[in-house]
Amino acid sequence: MVEFILNNQTIQTDLPAGTTVLDFVRYDENLKGTKIGCREGDCGACTVLVGELNEDSVKYRSMTSCLMPIANAHCKHIVTVEGINKPNNELTEVQQAIVDAGGTQCGFCTVGFVMSLTGFCIDETEKSGEMAISSIDGNICRCTGYKSIERAAELVSSQLSVVSSQNNSLEIAVEKGIVPEYFSGIKNRLAELSQKNPKSKIQNPKFVVGGGTDLYVQRHDEMVYAPAENLFDNSDLRGIEENGEFIEIGASATVTDLLVSPVMQSIFPNLYKHLKLVSSTPIRNMATLAGNFVNASPIGDMTVWFLALDATIVFNNEREIHLSELYLGYKTLAKTDDEFIKTIRFRKKVQHFNFEKVSKRTCLDISSVNSAISLKTENNKILEVHAAAGGVAPIPLYLKKTSAFLRGKEISDSTILQANEILQTEISPISDVRGSAEYKRLLLRQLFTAHFVELFGFSTER
Ligand SMILES: Cc1cc2nc3c(=O)[nH]c(=O)nc-3n(C[C@H](O)[C@H](O)[C@H](O)COP(=O)(O)OP(=O)(O)OC[C@H]3O[C@@H](n4cnc5c(N)ncnc54)[C@H](O)[C@@H]3O)c2cc1C
Ligand code: FES
Ligand code: FES
């Protein structure tokens, strides 16, 4: 039995836990405001808001309901456009801003934009024009043109610029009529729901689901009835903490959890710049680290990131291996069916780190080639280095030979040139829709050089 608050109504359902929230709201609840576009997380037409009790507040995030199993809605607040609409056909501030800026034509995408922008108004992000525009990076419009929609986003953020503390955005949004009054009572209602539905322990799953952003794209129909255990909300698999010389991250932490984590922000000064290259806001809100690792895509951004941190993964049976040891061949993993990832661990002393990605579009696109590097240096000498690359081999690749070559070397033009030659000997890209093998070799050469340009200010003339 899954129980949650849908808009202002508490709902219980016995439907298969793998049913998507999109199908549930449209076909069981007849809430047709939420649209179906791609069913692959790409268009944002199905965007809903998901509120989760977080200590003493409700944390709202936008998510694509086409990829979200109702199991992941348990004890949460799911908000569709019907849940923010005002009575008497009045428009909310966000809807009015879209009208005022001329940001809608056929209207098919508009509900998705309204939900993403409303999410921006009530989430913890800084209320700036840049962040408002960033909140709609997962929404596609095929007829209006983005400039007018961006103007609407800026209008919304300027109306919120009085928000001094990001912690009171929900209060202010209620005051300004951006969301209805009943949102103020959701915290207590979610607390009651959680008390009534104590979290169960993880059994011995043969098949697990995180955020569903890979599984529901690849195996949508099968997932509805799959005997899966949902790990997304398991509190033992969440959290990002310092533990001695290590940082330990719960396997179900999402990309957004990393983005907003003070621990991660203190270690990675370019965290926002790098992570905003990964998918889109609603997908980052759902995509877990373990899902990225186990999906084993050769271009998994978070996988390449954590390979370059020389991270280890800890399974439920406490077996710990280096992330690089997980990949035996294309989508072949060094793990049994009974094993799921519990924790990701890396050394917190990260002196220099850089991530680079090239994709056909800036937002909402997977990499053609990506690369990450972490280095420890002293007096221009490389003491420790781990480099990784994606899109250049059947697996996300830890660059073993290149990293070994760099250890102990001076950082110089000649070192980078030689490292780039070694790099070319350990990759084996193939030609596909994302580019020819030659192009990917060239891209990686450029990205590898870009690490040193970014970190040490080298010129790009090589
Ligand atoms: C529109 C769109 C854009 C995307 N863009 C990007 C991008 O830019 N970069 C990128 O890297 N990826 C991208 N992805 C892919 C995807 O979002 C990521 O791979 C994500 O991290 C998968 O996590 P998940 O929790 O959703 O995985 P799920 O779909 O839940 O699971 C994926 C796999 O991991 C397994 N799994 C989940 N949790 C565990 C666990 N704890 N232990 C063991 N196995 C586990 C599942 O059984 C399944 O085999 C995109 C996806 C979509 C739909
Ligand atoms: S229908 Fe396109 S993102 Fe869900
Ligand atoms: S208004 Fe028609 S798709 Fe956006």
Closest ligand 3 atom to 109 CA: 4
Ligand 3 atom with least separation from CA of 142: 3
Distance 185 CA to ligand 2 centre (A): 30
Closest C-alpha to 53, from 188, 234, 241, 179: 188
Report the pLDDT value the prediction gives residue 376, as an integer from 0 to 100.
97
CA-based nearest residue to 217, from 301, 283, 268: 283
Other C-beta atoms closer than 10 Å to the C-beta of 284 total 24
Q: Which pLDDT score is estimated for 227?
A: 87
- In Å, how far from its chain's centre is CA 414? 37
Rounded to two decimals, the pTM is 0.96
What's the pLDDT tens digit per position in 296-322? Answer: 999 999 999 999 999 999 999 999 999
- Beta strand segments in 147-294, E: 208-209, 229-230, 240-243, 246-250
Token pair of 39, please?
Answer: 């069913």
| DSSP per-residue letters across 399-438 | -HHHHHHHTT-B-SHHHHHHHHHHHHHS-----BTTB-HH
Query: Of the ligands numbered here, which is closest to the C-alpha atom of 143?
Result: 3
Q: Which residue has the tokens 């580019």?
A: 435
Q: DSSP assignment, residue 259? A: H
- The Å distance, Cα 215 to ligand 1 centre, comes to 7
Pocket test for ligand 3, best of 42, 144, 147 (most atoms within 8 A of CB): 144
Q: Would you call 116 exposed, middle or buried from its count of C-beta atoms within 10 A (0-12, 13-18, 19+)?
A: buried
Q: How far apart are the first and last CA of the chain?
A: 61
Q: Is the CB of 45 under 6 A from ligand 2?
A: yes
DSSP state for residue 82 in the 8-state scheme: G
Strand arrangement, sheet containing 397-398: 352-358, 369-378, 381-390, 397-398
Question: Which residue ranges in the chain fall short of pLDDT 50?
Answer: 164-165, 462
Q: Which of 108, 146, 149 to mutate to test the pocket of ligand 3 (most atoms within 8 A of CB)?
A: 108
Ligand 3 nearest-atom number relative to CA 144:
1
Q: Indicate which atom in ligand 1 lies nearest the CA of residue 138.
A: 1
Nearest ligand 2 atom, CA 66: 4
Residues 358-387 pLDDT 10s? 987 776 777 789 999 999 999 999 999 999
Give the three-class secondary structure for 394: coil
Q: Say how many Å lie between the CA of residue 107 and the centre of ligand 3.
A: 5
Radius of gyration of the chain (CA): 23
Distance CA 33, CA 344 (A): 39
The amino acid at residue 300 is G
Spans of all domains in the chain:
1-198, 208-456
- Specify the CATH superfamily of domain 1-198: Beta-grasp domain (3.10.20.30)
Element at 51 (helix H, strand E): strand 47-54
Residue 298 class from Cβ within 10 Å (0-12 exposed, 13-18 middle, 19+ buried)?
buried
pLDDT score, position 232 = 96
Residue 266 amino acid letter: S
User: Helices (DSSP H) in 203-276: which residue ranges?
Assistant: 215-218, 220-225, 255-260, 262-267, 271-275
Counting Cβ atoms within 10 Å, is residue 105 exposed (0-12), middle (13-18) or buried (19+)?
A: middle
CATH number given to 208-456: 3.30.390.50
- pLDDT at position 303 is 98
| pLDDT at site 462 | 47
Query: Cα 390–393–398 angle (5° rounding)?
Result: 60
How many other CB atoms are there within 10 angstroms of residue 271's CB atom? 18
CATH topology match: 1-198 vs 208-456: no
Q: Which atom of ligand 3 is nearest to the CA of 105?
A: 1
Strand 352-358 with 312-315, pairing: unpaired
Q: Which residues pair with 79 in a beta bridge?
A: 49
Contact yes or no for 47/282 (Cβ under 8 A): yes
Q: Which atom of ligand 1 is nearest to the CA of 213?
A: 26
Which pLDDT value is given to residue 461? 54
From the CA of 41, how far away is ligand 1's center (Å)? 12
Nearest ligand for residue 214 CA = 1
| Cβ of 217 less than 6 Å from ligand 2 | no
CB 162 within 8 A of CB 172: yes
Ligand 2 pocket test, pick from 24, 46, 108 with the greatest ligand atom count within 8 Å of Cβ, gives 46
| Two structure tokens written together for 82 | 């019907």
The 10 Å Cβ neighbour count of residue 165 is: 8
Q: What pLDDT score does 164 carry? A: 46
Longest dimension (CA), the chain: 71
DSSP H or E stretch at residue 382 = strand 381-390
Using a 10 angstrom Cβ sphere, with 0-12 exposed, 13-18 middle and 19 or more buried, the burial of residue 317 is exposed
CB 302, CB 293: distance < 8 Å: yes
User: Which listed ligand is nearest to 149 at the C-alpha?
Assistant: 3
Q: Decide whether any atom of ligand 1 lies within 6 Å of the 250 Cβ.
A: no
Q: How confident is the model at residue 89, as a pLDDT?
A: 85
115 within 8 A of 62, measured Cβ to Cβ: yes
* Start-end of H helices in 104-214: 110-122, 129-134, 146-159, 169-175, 186-196
Ligand 2 centre distance from Cα of residue 407 (Å): 46
